Amino acid sequence: RREEMAKSTQLIDNEVFRAYATYTAIVLLKMMLMSLITAYFRITRKAFVNPEDTATFGKGESAKKFLRTDPDVERVRRGHLNDLENIVPFVGIGLLYALSSPELSTALLHFRIFVGARIFHTFAYLIPLPQPGRGLSWAVGYSVTFSMAYRVLKTAWLL
């Protein structure tokens, strides 16, 4: 059993996999941060969606007025959903890519550009920056994932 344990840790000893683990953890933590920002805006803007969430503001009609949508809350939520739509493919395809033995420098380039683009995308969405700032940062992250998928399919292709 000891030997098994030792072998199963090899993946984390591999440098490309360690880089993947580092950037994936960072970008998933960034995505998780969106929940906190949503909660912050819901509380400061007093804009909730569940009746039970407004109970501290009193009962009946007085609390009901806090069941509303707020543009800032909706903006963060759109950013969060965009993260899900783009970070999920990165995490899945990135894992397969990291296991396809790419050069460490090439892999780092992919991971760094993706994570940088997604952090920029969040700022562009929340500030908001004028277009095409947000659109371009989205396209950069999208292209990186596409590039990794190309290598995965080239390496692993078994249909």
Q: Tell me whether residue 45 or residue 147 sits nearer to its own copies (CB atom).
A: 147
Cα torsion 78, 64, 39, 89 to 10°: value is -30
Residue with tokens 């292709």: 157
Tell whether residue 9 is a contact of its own copies (CB under 8 A): yes
Tell whether residue 145 is a contact of its own copies (CB under 8 A): yes
Taking a C-beta distance cutoff of 8 angstroms, is the pair 145, 90 a contact? yes
- In the complex, minimum distance from the CB of residue 43 to its own copies, in angstroms, rounded to a whole number: 11
Tell whether residue 78 is a contact of its own copies (CB under 8 A): yes
Taking a C-beta distance cutoff of 8 angstroms, is the pair 125, 82 a contact? yes
Tell whether residue 17 is a contact of its own copies (CB under 8 A): yes
Interface pattern 86-125 for its own copies (x via CB under 8 A): xxxx-xxx-xx--xxx------------------------
DSSP 75-97: HHHHHHHHHHHHHHHHHHHHHHH
Q: Read off the DSSP letter of residue 44.
A: H
Distance from chain centroid for Cα 9: 26
Can you give the binding site for its own copies, defined by CB under 8 A?
Answer: 1, 4-5, 7-19, 21-26, 28-29, 31-32, 34-35, 49-50, 52-53, 55-56, 75, 78, 80, 84-89, 91-93, 95-96, 99-101, 128-131, 134, 138, 142, 145-146, 149, 152-153, 155-159
